[in-house]
Amino acid sequence: MFHKLFTLPIRSVIKLAEKIQEEADDELYNIQHIQEKLLQLHMMFENEEIDEETYIEMEQELLTRYKIAKNREKDRKSFE
């Protein structure tokens, strides 16, 4: 019984950390959010708010996240 009392706070912290990680991943790999960011990035480049080097670098990061998001979506669907 005492063991359960001492591990309860640790388990609660672990559950909270898992939830935070899950929500962060959902935000980072949200396909709609990534698409919006790509559109904004393109508009910034077209309006000469950023240079080509910055555009390419940021676009590559977003496309990598998009690819990961699509793979995660495909994996989720295969488990259903």
CA–CA separation, 61 and 30 (whole Å): 14
Lowest mean pLDDT among 4-13, 35-44, 45-54, 55-64: 4-13
pLDDT of residue 6: 62
59 near 69, Cβ under 8 Å? Answer: no
Cα distances from 72 to residues 17, 29, 47, 60, 63, in angstroms, run 20, 8, 33, 18, 14
Domain regions of the chain by residue span: 30-80
Instruction: Report residue 54's pLDDT band, with 50, 70 and 90 as the boundaries.
Output: very high
Instruction: Report residue 61's pLDDT band, with 50, 70 and 90 as the boundaries.
Output: very high
pLDDT of residue 76: 81
pLDDT in tens, 17-32: 889 988 888 888 899 9
